[in-house]
Amino acid sequence: MTVTVLNAILKPLLEPRLPDWVDARWYASKDEAFALAPAAEIAWFDMHSKDDMAEVFRRADRLKWLNSIYAGVEAFPLDVLASRGVVLTNGAGINAVPIAEYVVMLMLAHAKGYREVVRAQERREWLTQSPGKRELFGSEVLILGYGAIGQEVEARLTGFGAKVTKVRRSPGPGTLGPDAWRGELGRFDWIVVAVPATPDTQHMIAAAELAAMNSDTVIVNIARGSVIDQDALVTALEAGKIGGALLDVTTPEPLPPEHPLWTLDNAQVTMHLSGNAQTLMFQRSATRFLANLARYRAGEPLIPTVDYAAGY
């Protein structure tokens, strides 16, 4: 029997479908997780506190495979896991569909000035002109980060007739290399940021990149706040150097009430809600975990596995 420590929230989804070689032990609190961790060969630990995460991994010294629902792995002690040879599977791609839908919603809302339409309804004012007249059709979109989310975004925007260019390491139609996109920033109407948060992507969009954009360019960030120099972004927005910023992520989170991003008319903050705008997150994660259990038993590679060197 393989001791597997799991969050009790997942019990209704997993318990009836677990194979007979799994000795499932369920935790409903961090203290229960700490107590169960030393016996775990397989575990699914997701905790809100980085300190709690560090403590549970310190105790889980028999761990061979760690699973997480989170796509981002900034809260994990990757050096510790790597040194112990623990395989980490994360939630990459689990939320790709709802996040891609959120991207399109934000773009359409901005293009049509929908925020002003809602405000007019609240005032009971009948508008005679649309506050926004932009179309996605024919617009130029750059997708930075062509993982599961980037691919889902492309599929939806292509359906609207947008012209999508993505950044990839390998060349191909409609692609730019990792060193070429900065020189092309001036031609894009929309820039969708969907890269993982790593040291290499820290402030990958800063003052120089913002200055290279045109005055109508709108940035959509559903990656992490750290990939954009937020102070430089505020400066560019206040000066009208770019068309707008649609931010599902910020630095820090929650964004302080006094932060200028809350009040800028050309910025919209959506409180990191895109991945939660669904009802199937746990079901999708449970199905993936069960498929990986079969792979683990058979000695096959798990999917998706975090690359410790790359940081995602």
DSSP 306: P
- What are the structural domains, with CATH classification, of the chain? 2-94+278-298 (3.40.50.720), 96-276 (3.40.50.720)
User: CA–CA separation, 217 vs 224, rounded Å?
Assistant: 19
- What's residue 148's pLDDT? 94
With a cut of 50, list the residues of the chain below it in pLDDT: none
User: CA–CA separation, 157 vs 82, rounded Å?
Assistant: 38
- What's residue 170's pLDDT? 78
Residue 202: count other Cβ atoms within 10 Å of its Cβ.
Answer: 13
- What's residue 203's pLDDT? 98
CA distances from 146 to 69, 160, 170, 226, 227 (A): 20, 19, 11, 18, 15
Per-residue pLDDT reduced to its tens digit, 3-15: 999 999 999 999 9
Q: Are 89 and 141 in contact (CB under 8 A)?
A: no
Provide the 3-class DSSP secondary structure of residue 35: helix
Strand partners, 40: none
Q: How many CA atoms lie within 13 A of 292 on its CB side?
A: 25
- What phi and psi values does residue 114 have, to the nearest 5 degrees? -65, -30
Strand partners, 247: 221, 269
User: CA–CA separation, 10 vs 12, rounded Å?
Assistant: 6
- What phi and psi values does residue 194 have, to the nearest 5 degrees? -140, 35
Residue 225: count other Cβ atoms within 10 Å of its Cβ.
Answer: 18
Report the amino acid identity of residue 238. Answer: E
Q: Are 281 and 275 in contact (CB under 8 A)?
A: yes
Residue 74: count other Cβ atoms within 10 Å of its Cβ.
Answer: 14
Q: Which two tokens stand for residue 112?
A: 């049509």
Q: Where are the beta strands (DSSP E) in 134-242?
A: 140-144, 163-167, 175-176, 190-193, 218-221
- What's residue 172's pLDDT? 81
